[in-house]
Amino acid sequence: MTAETAARLWVDRWERQQELYATAREERFHVVADVVAHGTRGMRRPLVADLGCGPGSLAARLADRLPHARVLAVDHDPLLLALGRAVHGDAVGFVDARIGSGPWAAALSAAGPLDAVVSTTALHYLPVDVLASVYEEVHGLLRPGGVLVNADHLFQEDTAIRRLAAAVAGGHDARRGPRPPEDWRGWWAGVAADGRFADLLAEREARGLDLGDDNGLTAQRHMELMRKAGFGAVGSVWQYGHSCVLAAVRTRPRSLPARHPEQG
């Protein structure tokens, strides 16, 4: 088995096990792509960044949907980055940077003003203060009119609504059919047993990568942080159970009224 074939096998297994954690995952990807397509309509070569990309699941789908776009996928996990480059490297540019730590934003600002920034099932791991700073930095990276899209499993403020959303998610899972045979922990155990990724796993351990705990923020709190970061338009564009897509727009500066030709 070639290295590329092995990488594709493990990326395919990643895709299957992720179905356990995101209600209507594929539809959620489509919604993110719809938002990005609308936000970058008319642009010849939009620049899009995916934060916490893993092996490039969302980034690859965006590159397929928007072949004229330049898509950058950002993560700090050496194994997932290597798998992503091997499978999706022809369509996606992968960037090794730890979101919210060090000069991660500089790696993106060097590419030019971003037209869209997306993330899926990643930002809920960041501590609240780090997440707030990430939203602020993303606001600075985006051009006026640029869009931030965060797709994640986010709970609602009201306990009764949270329970109803959980029931909706449970109903979806029951209708979907048999559960994927492998979960997140099983995937990592399988990679470790494979033997071909020992060096990358050692590098991962040396980097001290720990996803940490869920920061517990509701969808409403995420939107509050987006507003505080400077985004002028913030809201939810899709929800299925507790699977949400939040969008925020860096509104354009207010234009000055046109001067009359006779005015100085």
Q: Quickly tell me which residue has 């991962």 as its tokens.
A: 204
Instruction: Note whether residue 260 is domain-resident.
Output: no
Q: How many domains are there within the chain?
A: 1
Range of the domain at 148: 3-249
- Write out residues in the chain with pLDDT < 70, as ranges: 211-212, 252-264
Instruction: Note whether residue 34 is domain-resident.
Output: yes
Instruction: Note whether residue 114 is domain-resident.
Output: yes
- pTM given for the model: 0.92
Question: How far apart, in whole angstroms, are the C-alpha atoms of residue 182 and residue 148?
Answer: 32
Instruction: Note whether residue 45 is domain-resident.
Output: yes
User: pLDDT by residue (tens digit) across 137-170?
Assistant: 999 999 999 999 999 999 889 999 999 999 999 9
pLDDT of residue 263: 36
Instruction: Note whether residue 258 is domain-resident.
Output: no
**Which contiguous run of DSSP H or E holds residue 40?**
none
Question: How far apart, in whole angstroms, are the C-alpha atoms of residue 58 and residue 259?
Answer: 46
Instruction: Note whether residue 108 is domain-resident.
Output: yes
CATH of the domain at 12: 3.40.50.150
Instruction: Note whether residue 131 is domain-resident.
Output: yes
Instruction: Note whether residue 68 is domain-resident.
Output: yes
Q: Which residues contact 47 (CB under 8 A, 6 or more apart)?
A: 69, 70, 72, 111, 112, 113, 114, 115, 116
